[in-house]
Amino acid sequence: MDICDGFVGAIGRTPLIRLSALSAETGCEILAKAEWLNPGGSVKDRAAWGIINNAERAGQLRPGGIVVEGTAGNTGIGLAHICNARGYRCIIVIPETQTQEKIDLLKTLGAEVHLVPPAPYSDPNNYQKIAGRMAAEMEGAIWANQFDNTANRDAHYSTTGPEIWEQCAGQIDAFVAATGTGGTLGGVARALKERSDKVRIVLADPAGSSLYNYVYHGTPSSSSGSSITEGIGSSRVTANLQDTPIDTAYSIPDTESVPMVYRLLYQEGLFVGSSSGVNVSAALRLAKELGPGHTIVTVLCDGGARYSSRLFNSQWLAEKQLLPAG
């Protein structure tokens, strides 16, 4: 019998997919972890469960308790599912700049959604800080705090990383991923380096994020440009990203990642979101740099349907001057 226990039992053990056209083009194995196939539709189901499970075990979250989080969407969606499955109330603070699809889905799932204007991390009205204050003021509530709660990274250290290693039978030269909270990159990097210090860890950073400069100069400062991607890039080094053994970084502009999303859709048959475009663009750059014969693993973080009104809306893309040719 192969039966998993409820929603949380279905998280993880996602397929590792060979990207055929890109692998043929480069002579490398370019492999992508299909994280949009998690039951809540994104890589963040792993972090959401890691955080809730940890709080339950520590006795911070009790039956009937409340989970509060500031999120760009996917963590909130994962948390809302898990809260339903385990009987918690879910309160989500989300910047109003995120796609309507994610906001509507959160409401459908029964989360209490607080839309807030975008504000930098240094501002007390930043969505993460609002979530932290709300949780502190409510009896029986925890703040998931995905950015600095390392239960997020631990979830990837104990699941995503070992899954990748086993799926490749240890034949892996590099792992490439963009980071939002740093949970995926931080956890997977540690798990892989522990098994082989030869595995190269590569950060894919969207334009305008500060992490590319952090890798090369040691302090986070904004790279040039801006990005339409959601859920990735950062102005600071979170606790989850801290001390991650990163070997190389690429700054990926939207003019590269958006066409890649369409390549994934029409050449590989994979309908995924913008951060996946950044990840695979960086994997392709690395494959070209390393040359044929290498195995490069990356992540397809969420599905394309969450971005129908933007990334897959030609009028919107044309306004941003990002409409791919052809």
Residues at the contact surface with ligand PMP, assessed by CB under 6 A: 42-44, 72, 74, 178-185, 231-232, 273, 275, 301-302
Cα separation, 248 vs 298, in Å, equals 14
CA distances to 11, 113, 325 from 159, rounded to whole Å, are 10, 29, 39
Residue 138 has, within 13 A of its CA and on its CB side, a CA count of: 21
Q: Is residue 39 within 8 Å of residue 7, measured between CB atoms?
A: yes
- Nearer to ligand PMP by Cβ, of 38 and 275: the residue is 275
What is the distance between the alpha carbons of residues 132 and 69, in angstroms, rounded to a whole number? 7
How far apart are CB 5 and ligand PMP at their closest, in Å? 24
Q: Does the annotation mark 44 as catalytic?
A: yes
Shortest distance (Å) from residue 84 CB to ligand PMP: 20
- Closest approach, Cβ 21 to ligand PMP, in A, equals 22
Closer to ligand PMP by CB, 23 or 74: give it: 74
- The H helix count followed by the E strand count for the chain is 13, 10
Q: Structure tokens of 236? A: 């600071």
Within 10 angstroms of residue 171's Cβ, the number of other Cβ atoms is: 11
Contact, 241 vs 179, CB < 8 A?
Answer: yes
Query: Within a 10 A sphere around the Cβ of 312, how many other Cβ atoms?
Result: 17
Judged by beta carbon, residue 181 or residue 295, the one nearer ligand PMP is 181
User: What percent of the chain is helix, strand and coil (3-state, nearest 5)?
Assistant: 40, 15, 40
State both tokens at 79. 């948390």
* Strands of 200-206's sheet in order across: 16-18, 29-34, 295-300, 174-177, 200-206, 248-252
DSSP conformation class of 156: I
Q: Decide whether 44 or 263 has the Cβ nearer to ligand PMP.
A: 44
How far apart are the two ends of the chain, measured CA to CA in Å?
48
Minimum distance, C-beta of residue 276 to ligand PMP, in the bound complex (Å): 7
Give the integer Cα–Cα distance in Å for 209 and 113. 26
Residue 128 or residue 223: which is nearer to ligand PMP going by CB?
128
Of 34 and 301, nearer to ligand PMP (C-beta) is: 301
Closest separation between CB of residue 34 and ligand PMP, Å? 13
Instruction: Tokens for 194, please give them.
Output: 């522990």
Residue of 44, 107, 198, 320 with catalytic role:
44
Chain residue at closest Cβ approach to ligand PMP: 231
Residue 278 Cβ vs ligand PMP, minimum distance, rounded to whole Å: 8
Catalytic residues: 44
